[in-house]
Structure 1
Amino acid sequence: MNDTRRAVLDALADGPVPGPELADSLGVSRNAVWKHVEALRDAGFEITSDDDGYVLDAPPEYGGPAVEFGLDAPFEVEYYDAIGSTNDRARELATEGTADVAVLADEQTGSRGRLDREWSAPSGGVWASVVLRPDLPPAHAPALTLAAAVATTDAAREAGVPAEIKWPNDVLVGNEGERGGRKLAGILTEMEGEADRVSWVVVGVGVNANVSTDDLPEGATSIEAEVGDIDRRAFVQRLLERFDELRADPEKAVEAWRERSATLGQRVRVETGVAQSATDDERGDRESTGELVGEAVDVAFPGALVVETDDGERVRVHAGDCEHLRPV
């Protein structure tokens, strides 16, 4: 949405505004005001006019202009009714030099999760990918995944869903015995950069919002199933605003993740790639056996899981799949 059109909306939100007065305040012609109003109507904004001027009665229920209107975060929104993958489109924008754009879709037809796993993304969900150009060293980029998980969890909690985070990137609801919960959302982060700087980061967020569990894999849940349908416009706005707060302070994001963790304090099995001793960093990385079992005791900046094994060794895991186990 361009700045003039946004200014027109802001003016109309405050009450009836005569066209000539609006034109004068914005420094444009009356015909330009009329064209902007018509474009906003075409985008779904309910705008009426009478002797007192133009009045905004209601924004659209969902979509790019709807989310941008009233959004207290510096993101433009590119919206699609259906798209193959919001992450794929966000990567295209990133390679073109774009920043601070959220690609949003009602439905994804070719979505994927971590390790190229299939991810169900039917109509009614919140499928969004944010293009970032953070001033961070590549080693600190994982904190953005944690920030997105916190933002998603907070938005879900404000909607009435008691969500928690399973390391590294799943948002869960409820318990299945003592082994975890039902999956509500997931985060997929992609990055390109050099050794000393990040070129771009795409943070993808998929939330089962107004989606029937009949359309989801076994073990998944949705906001609809937990508390009923929500206002997706307000949900996305809150998610983006909270994420914007946290991306500016990665260490704060990690601390907030700890407070919302479903994993810390749990006995876990982690399928690992490379692990690092948390008690002797100077020893450097070592290859793990591929499977690590112990208690998850901490998450270390910028997002490594610290696991205490049964023999008392603390191991820092930078990437892997985590499974919550029953206590011994």
Structure 2
Amino acid sequence: MRDIKLKTKHLGERLYYFNDVNSTNEKADILAANVAEGTVIIAKKQRNGIGRFGRAWISPVGGVYISVILKPKITPREASKISLITGIAIATVIRNLGLEAKIKWPNDVLIHGKKVCGILTRISTKDSKIDYAIVGIGLNVNVDISTFPKELQKSATSLNVELKKNLSVEKVIEDILYAIEANYEILKEENFTYLLNEWTRLSDTLGKKVMIKMKTETIKGAAVGINREGALILMCESGSLRNIIAGECIHLRTGDL
């Protein structure tokens, strides 16, 4: 991997690079409390990349595996905003390559309905405030999907598969961090309406019938919006509206509701 030439003002001022780690989020967990906001951990590959709900994220050489440490002045209830701005950033970078990237709530980026990127955000709280947030990103760039487990091959894709050429992983990292920083600055300026509009424009979930699996219940409904805390607004089968802060979202076929 060549030297990364960041275009950011602060994000990545302190950068830790590893050829091989268990997980970049695991490294970030160790560092987060004692490093400056904007510290970034990058790995060439991960031995035990973890997605949401503890699922494995296949992480061979050729992908982007980064964790960003942020210290936002928002409440824990607003933590969804961090995944939201990250999803916008990654979808925008991919669209600038000429691909039709969409965001699936809460934290997946898709191309033609196939998952190309996953985002895992963890927060640590102190006195009812966010002490720090760790944003883990796994993006398939120059990855051979045929080496994935068979059950994942139909639902996953990679930038090189879609573009039919390999890309500079370093350039993709540079562009992602630049886009995240730009959105984070907008969030800090409290211009969330702009970010909300961008997410809505890029969403693959809004307007669809969905099933949301949560810890204590599973509900079905229509995804009709995102509120100002970053929660999904669901119109339930009963006609009532619910704000969903976290859960697994499954897009349903027409008639499945």
Q: Same fold (TM over 0.5)?
A: yes
Alpha-carbon contact 1:272-1:317 (below 8 Å) kept: no
**1:259-282 CA distance string (max 9 Å, x none):** 110000011111124xxxxxxxxx
Partner residue of 2:17?
Answer: 79
In 1, distance between residues paired with 2:213 and 2:251? 12
- Taking the aligned partners of 1:99 and 1:201, their CA distance within structure 2 comes to 9
After TM superposition, what 4+ stretches of structure 1 lie above 6 angstroms from structure 2?
none
- State the Cα deviation string for residues 263-305 of structure 1 (Å, max 9, x = none): 00011111124xxxxxxxxxxxxxx7x1111110001122211
The separation in 1 between residues aligned to 2:108 and 2:6, in whole angstroms, is 28
Who is 2:168 aligned against?
231
Higher RCO structure (Cα 8 Å, ≥6 apart): 2
Confirm or deny: 8 A CA contact 2:81 2:229 kept in the other structure.
Answer: yes
186, 196, 205: which is aligned to 1:254?
A: 196
Q: Is the 8 A contact 2:107 2:120 kept in 1?
A: yes
SS at match of 2:73: coil
Conserved? CA contact 1:187–1:204, under 8 Å: yes
Cα pair 1:127 1:207 within 8 Å, conserved: yes
Amino acid at match of 2:212: V
Deviation of 1:245 after TM superposition, in Å, equals 1.2
Unaligned runs of 5+ in 1: 1-61, 175-180, 274-287
Could you list the per-position Cα deviations for residues 225-248 of structure 1 after superposition, in whole angstroms to 9, with x for gaps in the alignment? 100211222211111111111112
CA drift at 1:98:
3.4
Unaligned residue ranges in structure 2 (runs of 5+): none
Question: Residue 306 of structure 1: SS of its match in structure 2?
Answer: strand
3-state secondary structure, aligned to 2:36: coil
**Structure 1 position 70, deviation (Å):** 4.4
Helix, strand or coil at the partner of 1:220? coil
1:156 pairs with one of 78, 91, 94:
94
Give the corresponding residue for 2:141.
Answer: 209
Structure 2: how far apart are the matches of 1:112 and 1:72? Answer: 27
The counterpart of 1:242, out of the listed 157, 179, 183, is 179
- TM-score between the two structures when normalised by the length of structure 2: 0.89
User: Could you tell me which residue of structure 2 aligns to residue 321 of structure 1?
Assistant: 248
TM-score (norm. length: structure 1): 0.71
1:138 is matched with which residue: 76, 84, 102? 76
Once residues 170 and 308 of structure 1 are traced to their aligned partners in structure 2, the CA distance between those partners, rounded to angstroms, is 21
SS of residue in 2 equivalent to 1:248: helix
The answer to whether the 8 Å contact 1:247/1:253 transfers is no
The alignment covers a number of residue pairs equal to 243
Partners of 1:198 and 1:309 in 2: CA distance:
31
SS in 1 for 2:59: coil
Code of the residue aligned with 1:253 in structure 2: it is: L
The structure with the larger Rg is 1
Match of 1:266 in 2: 208
Residue 41 of structure 2 aligns to a residue in which SS? strand
User: Of 221, 224, 227, which aligns to 1:294?
Assistant: 221
Q: Does 1:125 align with 2:59?
A: no
Task: Write the letter of the residue equivalent to 1:147.
Answer: I
The 1:70–1:118 alpha-carbon spacing in structure 2 relative to 1, beyond 3 Å, is closer
Q: How does 1:55-74 map to 2 (within 5 A)?
A: 62-63=1-2, 66-67=3-4, 69-74=5-10
- The one-letter code sitting in structure 2 at the alignment partner of 1:240 is L
CA distance in 2, matches of 1:202, 1:254: 21
